[in-house]
Structure 1
Amino acid sequence: MLNKVAREPSSNDPGFRGSWFAGTVIRREANNPNRYVVEYDQLYEDESGEKLLQETLDWIQLRPPPPPPEKKKVQFKFGDEVEAFHSDDWWEGAITAEHSGGKFAVFLRGSKEQIVFEEKDLRLPVQWVKGKWEPRFE
């Protein structure tokens, strides 16, 4: 029996590539050990918001939640690769402009949008490689 495990699932659906959601693996598919049923923390099956969305994903689309940011404050700047929190999930993108008040314009690759974010809604991108977190861009 698989215990429920927090994960960040990604989506291959058009318009959602490069985004990471909060979710929980609730079980492994019986006929395919590389596929898991995930329940999203903040995505719902319909507009009523009564039942959380469940989806079956390949293991490659799942990663543990990244560690909390280091206590050292990151100094974001133009051109930095980032993940930005937008519409209940983290989107990969790049800073395209610096604004006053600690705000940054970010181009989100998956949705092809440019949105202004507060610094608190940005994090450095990391990747899960061979069982450990590594910076995505070095």
Structure 2
Amino acid sequence: MQQRRWFLRVLLWRQGIKETPNGSFYKVKYKNLITEEDEPEPLIEIISADELRPMPPKSLPVLFLLHDKVDAFDNDGWWIGKITGRRGNLYSVYFETTNEVLEYPLCRLRRHLDWVNGDWVSSATRQQ
């Protein structure tokens, strides 16, 4: 299973820079990823339109419950996981694809949202 993660990107050009039978492609610049050159710069690459998402809506920090699906900010990206416990101000998050449990403070967690038909939808809402 492939680990899904999301990185903050800035769209450089609105028009597709390349049209193919597989869709449109866009040039993006990453906010948190840099090139591995002598003078590092923000990474720029071309990605397909179906990989682009607007920022999820901002939400106030909430207390998470056991088994809540969350996104954890780590290694410059947002990773999907599940709450497995809490110790003081730290939440334990299990990542299925790597079979790891890591701890995060509340400020590095957000409720997971799925991109469905052009809208951000919470996993709990989708199941109803």
TM-score of the two chains, using structure 1 as the length reference: 0.75
* 2:60 maps to 1:83: no
Instruction: Tell me how many residue pairs correspond in the alignment.
Output: 120
Of the candidates 80, 99, 118, which is equivalent to residue 87 of structure 2?
99
Q: Could you list the runs of 5+ residues in structure 2 that have no partner in the other structure?
A: none
Greater fraction of residues in helix: 2
Which residue pairs with 1:133 in the alignment? 120
Which residue pairs with 1:55 in the alignment? 45
TM-score of the two chains, using structure 2 as the length reference: 0.80
* 2:16 maps to 1:26: no
Mapped to 2, the partners of 1:22 and 1:93 lie a distance apart of 18
3-state DSSP of counterpart to 1:78? coil
Alpha-carbon RMSD across the aligned residues, in angstroms, is 2.1
Mapped to 2, the partners of 1:60 and 1:44 lie a distance apart of 23
Contact 1:19-1:110 within 8 A present in 2 as well: no
Of the candidates 95, 99, 108, which is equivalent to residue 108 of structure 1?
95
Which residue pairs with 1:121 in the alignment? 108
Contact 2:18-2:24 within 8 A present in 1 as well: no
Q: Could you list the runs of 5+ residues in structure 1 that have no partner in the other structure?
A: 1-13
Which residue pairs with 1:10 in the alignment? none
Contact 2:18-2:26 within 8 A present in 1 as well: no
Identity of aligned residues (%): 28
